[in-house]
Chain A
């Protein structure tokens, strides 16, 4: 009988071995795929219960998780939401995440691969795993000035360090309060979200990078002029006929210069003067002479049509090559031209930085809870759209625009500001889109800016340029 019992014992051992094996397989080997299953609400709940890393600006948290008394343990809180909502985005329980909250989610939640060892360490030391802190390149003083300068206008301001690509300010108005979307009451969140979504001013959209793209108007002349000079076919002194009106090739449509009349009074007008006075007719002729494909090549080199993330995805700007009349129209930023303010700022920054366009980014660095740096600042060249010589010439022309041209609204005494205004038409009877872009100081650029104001009734020079001027002053007075 003992022999049988021995065998039964072995059978029992095998049964338990099967259970040891099955529990090990589930909790160790299948755990990752089980945790990643969309039907697993625990993972979702856990991600809200973990202490999410803060988003920092100059060492101060603009978004952070503070202990709460409900089942999620932490409440996401946004400091100065008016100032930073376009940058931070929001972190909701079940309506998705946007902005830096969305783009850097794996780091903030502590689940990125870079944080694996931190996670192991915190398990061994018995600490609750925490997400990493994401520091932004935003300068709070400049951000504040940009926001104040834009005031109650609908629009956006972007300021870049042209030498590094660091985004110093990113303002989009109107904003919203991400705190109301971070509520743990799902019904409240959905109600607030629906309300924001229904708002005709689209406060949820970051107009600096992902709005409905804008007509660039005259700020596109920077792309056209630099393309013309860089191609070697034209110089600033190349001249074009200077009529009062111009009929688009192959059509009956007549176009005027923005302020009426001809451009500077002469029979002919140089490219330098056309840019300085921001005339449409000579630019249309220049565009037609250079050719749509050549312009498209340079537009692409500046970043039009290209994928970009900062780390939020940026909507690619558009330059389409049409027939000759359309090329003429698109030469002064109409027809199919569409841009983001960031793209416009990048164009100025490339000119400011000797033709080298730096990859724009919001991320200064990422640090683990134990203060080790997971990812330092990454400076990357985005493109080299024009030569250094072209950039030097362009800088001269743009300084002229401000000093004694159509962009004099951005003039700062004692500093050479390079700039270009734009007043884009949105169709008959519709308000204008007002632009200014530029950089300063011209000999050693510290900042490149782009300002856009929607629903304008006057000119870029009178509305957008003064805003840019304040931002530039804030950087130079730093």
Chain B
């Protein structure tokens, strides 16, 4: 094995290689020496970027208050500062449990999360909601909880490969979470989609967590099954198609996606899970035939479902002809979509400025349409910055796929980052008429506790994976 000097900064007491003998011992001494000389360079960079992130978020909240209230009020800034303290605590924890983790991930999601809080708070001001009735306050509380859970994941999960062992449990958990809202008694229908479980006054959207469980399952399952999935099968039209008996998993996932589509009325979630699965099976097997097969299955299923389900038809009509007065005035028509577009147009290139637009005109401006709210107040410039932040976050995740040493970790890293990418595409693409509108949350930005918790766990997993990439080099040679 080869150890470059930058790779040899693993902490003491960690397995640095499977090789034995002199080489390992010398690496070990080298490691100690380097550790002493270069103390946590990446964490220092992270700290610097965190300070920048605090500045951006603090400025955003201040601008919201100046723009919408005309004066500065301490409460939300104070609450925001407490989140900053939590972020610093997470940073400190990582110095101990994940010192080599990617330094960009935490600052980037902190900016996104903070911008989301600022805009949600801005809508609270417009809607005159305060205290626990205010989405902004709840969002801050959820963020705090999500960050604590993320730290817990980092502390408890010291080796991501443990997850591979629990892949079938993950599958079970994932499918249960996904289908939980269909259970009578605890399932709740919000805005036509049955995505929620409701126990007392506590609402949760378990589908968000299912995303993680299923990504773990896919990665674990595909790493072991990929030989049989990729090597055998008949060639047809220049592509090798899988054997019928290997079709089991894809059919199970397809059925689950169709169940979500038909019974929960949630095109977005169905698309997200199925897309995630297809990309992961493609990365694992390298066979495009799986993707084509999967797409045919999904599009076919969606078309059949679309004929039977009026809400799917409505979504398509709104997408294709939103300005038609008939579609615009219909119940569940394109009113929201068109008002969102008006918001973007009003924002133009540079936006109205935080607190100075009228984003509250759009229904669900703080959740599904948070990007339209931000687009109105920050303009195209702000949208590009937000998209660039997402790209940065996703690219850090995809890097794990390129640089990782174990296939499970690589697959999981790619899967989780792609899930975020796909979700961003589905939501923002829906709001900006690239694809039909489906109800998904914009990761980190949108109001919603389940989504925040899930995405912060994803971030924690990516941090853990990126730490492993650098501290556990070269386990599997396949690159």
Q: Cβ of A41 and Cβ of B390 under 8 Å apart?
A: no
The reply to whether the CB of B263 lies closer than 8 angstroms to some CB of chain A is no
The answer, among A12, A18, A23, A35, for a CB contact under 8 Å with B398, is A12
How far is A470 from B330 in the complex, measured between Cα atoms in Å? Answer: 64
Q: Cβ of A26 and Cβ of B345 under 8 Å apart?
A: yes
Q: Cβ of A27 and Cβ of B398 under 8 Å apart?
A: no
Q: Cβ of B421 and Cβ of A27 under 8 Å apart?
A: no
How far is A437 from B350 in the complex, measured between Cα atoms in Å? Answer: 57
Which stretch in B7-15, B237-245, B424-432 binds the other chain?
A: B424-432
The reply to whether the CB of A198 lies closer than 8 angstroms to some CB of chain B is no
Given contacts A8-B418, A20-B384, contact A42 B349 (CB under 8 A): no
Given contacts A1-B286, A18-B429, A42-B361, contact A24 B380 (CB under 8 A): yes
Contact with A along B273-316 (1 / 0, CB 8 A): 00000010011101000000000000000000000000000000
The answer, among A3, A26, A37, A41, for a CB contact under 8 Å with B344, is A26
- Interfacial residues of chain B within 72-90, with CB under 8 A of chain A in the complex: none
Q: Cβ of B348 and Cβ of A4 under 8 Å apart?
A: no
How far is A6 from B283 in the complex, measured between Cα atoms in Å? Answer: 9
B-side interface mostly:
helix
How far is A16 from B344 in the complex, measured between Cα atoms in Å? Answer: 18
Q: Cβ of B345 and Cβ of A34 under 8 Å apart?
A: yes
> Which A-chain residue is minimally distant from B398 (CB atoms)?
A9
What's the A-B contact tally at a CB cutoff of 8 Å?
Answer: 128
The reply to whether the CB of B472 lies closer than 8 angstroms to some CB of chain A is no
**Residues in A neighbouring B342, C-beta threshold 8 A:** 34-35, 37, 39-40, 42
CB distance from A140 to the nearest CB of B (A): 37
How far is A41 from B284 in the complex, measured between Cα atoms in Å? Answer: 51
Q: Cβ of B432 and Cβ of A30 under 8 Å apart?
A: no
Q: Cβ of B350 and Cβ of A123 under 8 Å apart?
A: yes
**Residues in A neighbouring B375, C-beta threshold 8 A:** 23, 27
Given contacts A8-B283, A26-B344, A27-B375, contact A19 B418 (CB under 8 A): no
Q: Cβ of A1 and Cβ of B394 under 8 Å apart?
A: no
The answer, among A16, A22, A31, for a CB contact under 8 Å with B433, is A22
- Interfacial residues of chain A within 99-152, with CB under 8 A of chain B in the complex: 123
Q: Cβ of A1 and Cβ of B478 under 8 Å apart?
A: yes
The answer, among B284, B349, B357, for a CB contact under 8 Å with A28, is B349
The reply to whether the CB of A5 lies closer than 8 angstroms to some CB of chain B is yes
**Residues in B neighbouring A254, C-beta threshold 8 A:** none
The reply to whether the CB of B383 lies closer than 8 angstroms to some CB of chain A is yes
Q: Cβ of A15 and Cβ of B425 under 8 Å apart?
A: yes
> Which B-chain residue is minimally distant from A45 (CB atoms)?
B358
| A interface residues, how many (CB within 8 angstroms) | 35
Given contacts A12-B418, A22-B434, A23-B375, contact A30 B345 (CB under 8 A): yes
The answer, among B323, B341, B357, for a CB contact under 8 Å with A26, is B341
CB distance from B54 to the nearest CB of A (A): 25
The reply to whether the CB of B124 lies closer than 8 angstroms to some CB of chain A is no
The reply to whether the CB of A2 lies closer than 8 angstroms to some CB of chain B is yes
**Residues in A neighbouring B436, C-beta threshold 8 A:** none
A-side interface mostly:
helix
The reply to whether the CB of A68 lies closer than 8 angstroms to some CB of chain B is no
CB distance from B78 to the nearest CB of A (A): 27
The reply to whether the CB of B206 lies closer than 8 angstroms to some CB of chain A is no
**Residues in B neighbouring A123, C-beta threshold 8 A:** 350
How far is A429 from B344 in the complex, measured between Cα atoms in Å? Answer: 64
**Residues in A neighbouring B383, C-beta threshold 8 A:** 23, 27
Given contacts A5-B283, A8-B283, A27-B375, contact A34 B341 (CB under 8 A): yes
**Residues in B neighbouring A3, C-beta threshold 8 A:** 286
How far is A398 from B239 in the complex, measured between Cα atoms in Å? Answer: 102
How far is A28 from B345 in the complex, measured between Cα atoms in Å? Answer: 7
Q: Cβ of B283 and Cβ of A1 under 8 Å apart?
A: yes
The answer, among A15, A23, A35, for a CB contact under 8 Å with B432, is A23
**Residues in B neighbouring A5, C-beta threshold 8 A:** 283, 398, 401-402, 410, 414
How far is A9 from B391 in the complex, measured between Cα atoms in Å? Answer: 10
Q: Cβ of A39 and Cβ of B434 under 8 Å apart?
A: no
> Which B-chain residue is minimally distant from A24 (CB atoms)?
B380
The reply to whether the CB of A43 lies closer than 8 angstroms to some CB of chain B is yes
- Interfacial residues of chain B within 242-291, with CB under 8 A of chain A in the complex: 279, 282-284, 286
The reply to whether the CB of A289 lies closer than 8 angstroms to some CB of chain B is no
> Which A-chain residue is minimally distant from B350 (CB atoms)?
A123
- Ordered by A's residue number, 18 sampled pairs between the chains whose C-beta atoms are within 8 Å are A1-B286, A1-B410, A5-B401, A12-B394, A16-B425, A19-B425, A19-B434, A20-B387, A22-B432, A22-B434, A23-B375, A23-B432, A28-B380, A35-B346, A40-B342, A42-B343, A42-B346, A123-B350
Using A1-B283, A1-B286, A4-B283 as known contacts, list a sample of 20 further A-B pairs with CB atoms less than 8 Å apart, ordered by residue number in A: A5-B402, A6-B402, A8-B283, A8-B398, A9-B395, A15-B421, A16-B387, A23-B375, A23-B387, A26-B345, A28-B348, A28-B349, A30-B345, A31-B344, A31-B348, A35-B346, A39-B328, A39-B338, A41-B358, A43-B346
